[in-house]
Amino acid sequence: MKKNCMLTLAAVMAFSCVPASAAFAAQPAATSQNTSATVTTALVLQEDVDKSGDGWEWSGDNKKLTLDGFTQDIVSGSIANAIELPKDSIVYMENENEIMISGSGTAGIYCEGDLTIRGSGSLDLEVTGGTASGIRTQNGGSILIEDDVEITIDAAYGLYVWNAKGTDPLITITDDAQVKAYINNQDQTIYVVKENGSNASGSNWFHFSNDIRYDKYIEEEYVLLKAEGVLNDTDDTDETEEADKTDETENTNPFTDLEDHPAKDAALYLYEKKYMNGTSATTFSPDAQLSRGMLVYLLYTMNGSVDTTEAKEMTFQDVPANAYYTDAVVWAVNNGIIAGYNDAAFGPNDPLTKEQFATILYHYEKMQGGGFTGAWSFLLDCTDRDTISSWAYEPLCYFTMNDVLSISDSGMVNPKAVMTRGDTAIALANYLQSKETEA
């Protein structure tokens, strides 16, 4: 393999989605590995503070984390990430390492700025949960993967750069390094959110660029990335063949738990629009409860994920600074779509009833210029209307009248029923498709 051949994603790329990847030869696995106990807590590492444990050592002065036979298994709960690093950190890997964490919005490795991963070892990352990512940088950070590192990622997003700034390369894979990503949508192998993009109205989301051509190769259910993946401008790849490969991967259902579920079509509609993701590469969890954090994130994404840097800061103690829903909470509260329980508590993981969901969505609809105007009178035709909270009556009237929410065959609107992810997918698909019809 030729050394110093680089796969680069630059911040000045065109903002268009062209999924891509590259095939590579498998690297030999390490023949020896240190044995260490499983770590069950998050590693939150800081500058100038040295720490060490089973299979890991952190040099605060050098901002270097060495993983050597490291195993970590966390059910996250309120934990944001498995490993959190300060900006300009280095992860050096030897032998075989493994990180497993579950929870929406979590990351296997999270860095506040530039992150370099090097060494001769391997890392298996299994990050379960909606919008979870394998490796994530934030606040102008970039990702450099080099030497002989082998990384395998099973998460909703593979390499994730948030709030990207400047014109330097954001993601670089060089030398003999390689990444294998088990991603349910190959568009999400590399996922970048630019600070402002070229659109003054808000952020631009993009995955791959037309400026650099890739060898488009999907091996079964995973995407392969390595240095030799970039094709030069003189390459004559058969574009028709590439289009045929794209057609084969589109309009498929990657989620085994949706196959016979009534929310299947709605969930895939939102998934294809990149508004709603699965909880893993093969599951959507349509019967799992919807949370307040999930809903505001969905509405925030539907609204274009606008920049919140100038918004009023929140004081909620239960909203982490780097959770997937953090910016969404700031945006939603600032726009009157939702409120916290008090100045300190938002309850991002709390479930939502049907009437609560309708009220939040109605506030979003009013922000878009919709909703009832002037004097109106509407008698909701359901047998349980007396159980509807007074503040939810108008939203439920509006959304049942517009076929966003339904009344059951037995004539009940069920205002106190807890919304599931499947219920939410159906309601939001109805809402968005009604807007498409109006347009």
Task: Give per-residue pLDDT as tens, 263-308.
Answer: 999 999 999 888 888 888 788 999 999 999 999 999 998 988 777 7
In a domain, 249, yes or no: no
pLDDT at 146: 84
pLDDT, position 383: 92
Q: Is residue 137 part of a domain?
A: yes
Place of tokens 């390689």: 178
In a domain, 133, yes or no: yes
Helix (H) or strand (E) holding 157: strand 157-164
Q: Is the Cα torsion angle 223, 224, 225, 230 positive or negative in sign?
A: negative
pLDDT at position 373: 85
- Residue 207 or residue 128, greater confidence: 128
Predicted confidence (pLDDT) at residue 238 exceeds the cutoff of 60? no
Which pLDDT score, from 0 to 100, does residue 80 have? 75
**Mean pLDDT along residues 347-355:** 95
Whether residue 78 is predicted with pLDDT greater than 60 in this model: the reply is no
CA separation for the pair 184, 173 (Å, rounded): 22
Tokens of 209: 């660029």
Determine, yes or no, domain membership for 49. Answer: yes
Q: What is the pLDDT of residue 79?
A: 65
Higher pLDDT, 285 or 246: 285
- Under the banding of pLDDT at 50, 70 and 90, the label for residue 436 is confident
Residues 268 and 258: beta-carbon distance below 8 Å: yes
Does 203 share its domain with 286? Answer: no
d(CA 299, CA 293): 10
In sequence order, the β-bridge partners of residue 111 are 85, 137
- Residue that wins the pLDDT comparison between 202 and 35: 35
307-315 LR contacts (CB < 8 Å, sep 24+): 307/195, 307/196, 307/202, 307/203, 308/334, 314/340, 314/346, 315/343, 315/344
Statement to judge: residues 233 and 260 lie in one domain: no
197 in any annotated domain: yes
In this structure, the answer to whether residues 190 and 231 fall within a common structural domain is yes
More confident residue, 4 or 57: 57
Residue 100: helix, strand or coil by DSSP?
A: strand
* 8 A C-beta contact, residue 389 and residue 408: no
8 has a pLDDT exceeding 70: no
pLDDT at 169 over 90: no
Report the range of poorest mean pLDDT among 37-41, 102-106, 165-169, 186-190: 165-169
76 and 222 belong to one structural domain: yes
Residue-level pLDDT at 241: 41
Asked if the model's pLDDT at residue 342 lies above 80, the reply is yes
How much is the pLDDT for 296? Answer: 94
Highest mean pLDDT among 11-20, 182-191, 207-216: 182-191
Chain segment 206-224, per-residue pLDDT in tens: 333 322 222 333 444 556 6
Question: Is 94 domain-assigned?
Answer: yes
pLDDT in tens, 42-52: 899 998 899 99
- Number of folded domains in the chain? 2
Residue-level pLDDT at 337: 96
Do 222 and 265 lie in a common domain? no
Of 362 and 160, more confident: 362
Question: What distance in Å separates the CA atoms of residue 93 and residue 151, rounded to the nearest whole number?
Answer: 10
Query: How many other C-beta atoms are found inside a 10 Å radius of the C-beta of residue 8?
Result: 17
pLDDT of residue 293: 93
Top-confidence range, 147-161, 211-225, 414-428 = 414-428
In the structure encoding, which two tokens stand for residue 137, read together? 């940088």
Q: Tell me whether strands 64-68 and 7-10 are parallel, antiparallel or unpaired.
A: unpaired
- Phi, psi dihedral angles at 25 (to 5 degrees): -75, 140
Lowest mean pLDDT among 229-233, 312-316, 327-331: 229-233
pLDDT band at 171; cut points 50, 70, 90: confident
Tokens of 226: 């390595």
Measured distance CA(285)–CA(279) in Å, rounded: 6
- Residue found by looking up tokens 């609560």 in the block: 356
Cβ pair 401, 378 in contact under 8 A: yes
Do 228 and 284 lie in one domain? The reply is no
Residues 178, 277 within the same domain: no
Mean pLDDT value across residues 106-134: 88
E strand segments, 1-95 = 7-10, 38-39, 43-44, 51-53, 56-59, 64-68, 71-75, 81-85, 89-94
What is the C-alpha separation between 8 and 11, in angstroms, rounded?
A: 10
| 307 and 423 belong to one structural domain | yes
Q: In which domain, by residue range, is 96 found?
A: 7-237
Residues 159 and 271 in one domain: no
Tell me what the pLDDT averaged over the chain comes to.
76
Residues 175, 279: one domain? Answer: no
**pLDDT surpassing 50 at residue 248:** no
**Torsions phi, psi of 430, nearest 5?**
-60, -45
Asked if residue 251 belongs to a domain, the reply is no
Tell me if residue 386 falls in helix, strand or coil: helix
Looking at the fold, whether 266 and 127 belong to one and the same domain comes out as no
276 with 208, same domain: the answer is no
Q: Which residue has the higher pLDDT, 316 or 220?
A: 316
CB neighbours of residue 20 within 10 Å: 26
Smallest CA-to-CA distance from 331 within 214, 417, 419, 202 is with 202
165 — pLDDT class (breaks 50, 70, 90): low
pLDDT at 368 over 60: yes
Domain for residue 246, yes or no? no
Which residues have a Cβ under 8 Å from the Cβ of 217 and sit 6 or more positions away? 21, 22, 23, 224
Share of the chain above pLDDT 90, in %: 42
Give residues with Cβ within 8 angstroms of 241, minimum separation 6.
none
Show the tokens assigned to 300: 């925030």
Predicted confidence band at 70 (pLDDT cuts at 50, 70, 90)?
very high
What whole-number distance in Å separates Cα of residue 30 and Cα of residue 155?
24
CB-based contact 145:181 (threshold 8 Å): no
